[in-house]
Structure 1
Amino acid sequence: SGSPLRSFSSQELRPKGLDVEQEELGDLVDKEMAATSAAVETAVARIEDMLSKSRAGDTGVKLEVNERILGSCTDLMQAIQVLVLASKDLQREIVESGRGAASPKEFYARNSRWTEGLISASKAVGWGATVMVDAADLVVQGKGKFEELMVCSHEIAASTAQLVAASKVKADKDSANLAKLRQASRGVNQATAGVVASTKSGKSQIEEKDSMDFSSMTLTQIKRQEMDSQVRVLELENQLQKERQKLGELRKKHYKLAGVAEGWDEDGKSLAPLSQEPATAQPPPAKLTAMAQPKP
């Protein structure tokens, strides 16, 4: 066991589109979207298995917390499934309306940066679903951190926002499929907020059950614990300040690396023409990844 979170660089999320012939990009889009759907379906099955095991072996507060957390995770996976289907429908509409006499593969090749953005976003969504279920598995076993599950939930919201941004770049603003995609994105955000809320509530229930019983303590013991608690609060406040500074620097570096990897500078300007798309194409959705975290 161990933390499911690990460093996942922009290079790992970056599609292999630049390493293959452009006519293969269309095949890669279909392959990655199918892989994302499969990852989400696997996640749903794993959650159902975790729930069955918890009902067989847990009771009381532990069972109540696990049922609530796993139920919210299932709701999120279902919302992601709806979003992936909506994204596929919009992509199909974009290709059919914009390719003219060209084949779908030629359209994807001619618009390679957009295509690569779709591939990268789809990979990020599938990865996020898998990692979140890993985190949930550890939490319900009592071996993981509730905070990791909340971070994974935020990452899923950011990844799905990236997929929406990538999907709608070339869409008609009045498209019914675009409206469905936006609605599906709102559904993901609501479901993500549900995971965060259930996780916070569960953490509070589990921790307070054992940590707030002072009935057997003497006055001297209580005074000692009070002083220890004050020291711990000061330590945690200092650690929190330092960690927030570190997070800010990591995000700056993330945006810079993601932009350069996609051929954009920090101002969103193209560094070099990667395709036959006009130079006014929108900056890659990877720049938006961490900007769309839902409010808890």
Structure 2
Amino acid sequence: MAATSAAVESAAARIEDMLNKSRAVDTGVKMEVNERILASCTDLMQAIKVLVLSSKDLQRDIVESGRGAASMKEFYVKNSRWTEGLISASKAVGWGATVMVDAADLVVQGKGKYEELMVCSHEIAASTAQLVAASKVKADKDNANLGRLKLASKGVTQATAGVVASTKSGKSQIQEKDTMDFSSMTLTQIKRQEMDSQVSVLELETKLQKERERLGELRKKHYELAGVAEGWGEEDEGTG
């Protein structure tokens, strides 16, 4: 959890730095888009901070209620698979925050892909859901801190949706500058462009289908490694 907190704090500081740089060099639509995207990223970092704090409190409750006469270290050793799953999910949230800020940095510089920023946001939401699932395995369903963690998770989900929305609208605004003007083209030129466009559509559709199949296989392997190897959805042997 400490590593995740550090990653989120670092990401938040970088976002603030990017915002200041953008204000210094960008104007008009570009500055407006960058400010909106970075503001939504800041909101997400704040939501993740709340999530991490809630997770820490719940983890402490779980250890205290489950260890009995054992030491904290002994509890973690006895429940090693659960501990690994929790740590993995927590690290994934911190990693997602770092990668998202990298993507945002490139976008505000005009060198990155808006789609990458959106994918990073979805990954953070997925990692957050995994963190809650890992925590629920050992938590008392009536635990107040579990309720706070679930609420914090919803906050992260809403914030990731905010990043996606600001990124989509920002991309739309930037691309509006490049309006398609065919008024000066002849009939022959229009026909040639139309054929080229049809070829591109077919190529992209084929590529999209192949990439969807690849994504499906990657997700299958991810769930296999994360779910089975780390035991998110099951109790450890020898524990109640």
More helix by share: 2
1:71 aligns with 2:39: yes
Tell me if the contact between 1:37 and 1:126 (Cα under 8 Å) persists in the aligned partners.
yes
1:277 aligns with 2:239: yes
Alignment of 1:111-126 (within 5 A): 111-126=79-94
Aligned residues: 240
2: distance between equivalents of 1:60 and 1:214?
Answer: 27
1: distance between equivalents of 2:238 and 2:57?
Answer: 24
1: distance between equivalents of 2:32 and 2:133?
Answer: 37
Deviation at 1:277, TM superposition (A): 3.0
Measured at CA, do residues 269 and 46 of structure 1 come closer, stay the same or move farther in structure 2, by a change above 3 Å? closer
1: distance between equivalents of 2:15 and 2:165?
Answer: 18
The one-letter amino acid of 1:210's match is D
Partner of 2:137: 169
Q: What RMSD over aligned residues (CA atoms) do the two structures have, in Å?
A: 2.1
2:222 equivalent among 254, 263, 278:
254
1:236 equivalent among 204, 221, 225:
204
Q: Normalising by the residue count of structure 2, what TM-score does the alignment of the two structures yield?
A: 0.92
2: distance between equivalents of 1:134 and 1:233?
Answer: 30
The one-letter amino acid of 1:256's match is E
Partner of 1:209: 177
1: distance between equivalents of 2:227 and 2:59?
Answer: 23
Measured at CA, do residues 214 and 53 of structure 1 come closer, stay the same or move farther in structure 2, by a change above 3 Å? farther
Tell me if the contact between 1:164 and 1:185 (Cα under 8 Å) persists in the aligned partners.
yes
2: distance between equivalents of 1:160 and 1:269?
Answer: 18
Deviation at 1:212, TM superposition (A): 2.4
The one-letter amino acid of 1:56's match is A
Tell me if the contact between 1:113 and 1:275 (Cα under 8 Å) persists in the aligned partners.
no
2: distance between equivalents of 1:231 and 1:78?
Answer: 45
1:107 aligns with 2:106: no
Partner of 1:194: 162
The one-letter amino acid of 1:277's match is T
Q: Normalising by the residue count of structure 1, what TM-score does the alignment of the two structures yield?
A: 0.75
1:178 aligns with 2:146: yes
The one-letter amino acid of 2:66's match is G
Measured at CA, do residues 269 and 51 of structure 1 come closer, stay the same or move farther in structure 2, by a change above 3 Å? closer
2: distance between equivalents of 1:230 and 1:58?
Answer: 37
Alignment of 1:35-184 (within 5 A): 35-184=3-152
Deviation at 1:228, TM superposition (A): 2.3
Query: More displaced, 174-183 or 251-260?
Result: 251-260
* 1:81-114 C-alpha deviation (Å, 9 max, x unpaired): 0000000111111112222222222222221111
* 1:48-94 C-alpha deviation (Å, 9 max, x unpaired): 11111111111111111111111111111110000000001111111
Deviation at 1:262, TM superposition (A): 3.0
Q: Which runs of 5+ in 2 are unaligned?
A: none
* 1:17-48 C-alpha deviation (Å, 9 max, x unpaired): xxxxxxxxxxxxxxxx1110010011001001
The one-letter amino acid of 2:175's match is E
The one-letter amino acid of 1:38's match is A
